[in-house]
Structure 1
Amino acid sequence: MQTNEVSDGPTVIRPLLPTDSIADLTDLLHRAYRRLADMGLRYMATHQSEEVTRERIAQGTCLVALQDGRICGTILFRNPQQTSGCRWYDRQEVASLAQFAVDPDLQAQGLGLRLLRQVEVMALRAGAGEIALDTAEPATHLVAWYTRLGYRFVEHARWSHTNYRSVILSKALSDAAA
């Protein structure tokens, strides 16, 4: 096993490889975000093309979770130099995560938490003091989950590609290390 892989039984978390299927990754994003689309929320991941998936993964470090060789989860980590777009993201000590998805059949089983913890460690190693994310304000189930994990509200943002107001949530990495 490579040192940058994390394995827990049948699931392996590792960086996206050039040989991984962008079509499969994009399909996972669409399936994982379907519940949000059904709520009327136009997250980029609800409808993005394979080209947009490629563009987004080029903005940071894309991790994938695999079971039986199939991509079943993903998260995009952006170090502080790659994080920007709103007042909080523009702070030099803030890293961020995005494009976070778990196969709907595997949700609420701990895989998402494993992916999230992995990027928290990456942020700490990158010298960040905070790790932040944004999600739709109406996605109260997601806001509540992140809050339970120690993320706190810091500001609102509006992105041109969405149809909702976002909440920016952040976690001090000293909290993440504990």
Structure 2
Amino acid sequence: MMTAITLRPLAATDSIEALTALLHASYASLAAQGWNFTAVNQSVQTTRERVEAGQAFVALSASGELVGTVTIAPPKRPDGRYLGDPVPDCYTQPDTAILAQLAVHPACRGQGVAERLMDLAEDWAHAQGYAHVALDTAVPAEALRRRYERRGYARIGDVQWAGKTYRSVLMRKALGPTASTEVQP
């Protein structure tokens, strides 16, 4: 059943605890496949740090419940860290924003929420002057890789994050004209 979903930037009044719970619920199916994505069990503090590093957007149900999210962030410093690991080169390019924490609650999947969130994140990156968006996902997560490929992301490398049960593929997309996505202020 389709329900009205509103997209907007994460607000200071939004609960980081609720956002963390959404991430845990959204990534549970990946954990069940043996993939320990960071969002499977990240702490509230990690969620806070990740959203504060860039611009987070949320999807809300008609009742105001958080049902989706994505974070888009500026490039990292070449001598910095990314979730405790050395930063891959593609995440340090000055013309490249980094997309992370894409999540949709299982009850709201199949309604195009993830696509709308990605449109919004890519539009934000384009408006900030970035020419590319980069992301990473688990190599064995074929459905996720195909989703990103359909959106124009191409594999540019791979990385083994410390403590992960899988290698990650690094993907990047060149941004073109912006898509039209409605945002509530």
Query: TM-score by structure 1 length?
Result: 0.88
Counterpart pick for 1:66 among 42, 52, 60 = 60
Task: Give the 3-state SS of the residue equivalent to 2:6 in structure 1.
Answer: strand
> Residue in 2 aligned with 1:104?
106
Which residue identity does 1:116 align to in structure 2? M
1:161: Cα distance to partner?
4.4
Q: Percent identity?
A: 39
Deviation at 1:163, TM superposition (A): 2.3
**Residues 44 and 161 in structure 1, CA contact (< 8 A), matched pair in contact too:** no
Q: Is contact 1:59-1:82 (8 Å) kept?
A: no
- Tell me by how many angstroms 1:166 deviates: 0.6
Q: Against the structure 1 CA distance between its residues 58 and 161, is the aligned structure 2 distance closer, same or farther, given a 3 Å change threshold?
A: farther
Structure 2 residue ranges without an equivalent (≥5):
181-185
Residue 79 in structure 1 maps to residue 74 in structure 2: yes
**Number of equivalenced pairs:** 170
Matched, 1:26 2:20: yes
Q: Structure 1 stretches of 5 or more lacking a match?
A: 1-8
Partner of 2:147: 145
Aligned with 1:65: secondary structure? strand
1:26-175 to 2 correspondences below 5 Å: 26-67=20-61, 68-80=63-75, 85-174=87-176
C-alpha distance in 2, partners of 1:90/1:79?
A: 9
**Aligned CA distance change for structure 1 residues 161 and 77 (closer, same or farther; 3 Å):** farther
Instruction: Point out the more displaced range, 157-166 or 15-24.
Output: 157-166
The 8 Å contact of residues 101 and 112 in structure 1, kept in 2 or not, is answered as yes
3-state SS of 1:143 partner: helix
Deviates more, 1:107-116 or 1:14-23: 14-23
Q: Contact between 1:96 and 1:132, CA under 8 Å: does it hold in 2?
A: yes
Aligned-partner residue type, residue 57 of structure 2: L
- Secondary structure of 1:88's counterpart equals helix
Larger RCO (alpha carbons 8 Å, 6+ apart): 2
Partner in structure 1 of residue 183 of structure 2? none
For 1:130 and 1:66, the matched residues in 2 are separated by 27
Partner secondary structure for residue 162 of structure 1? coil
Query: What TM-score, normalized by structure 2, do the two folds share?
Result: 0.85
Deviation at 1:81, TM superposition (A): 6.0
8 Å CA contact 1:80–1:128 kept in 2: the answer is no
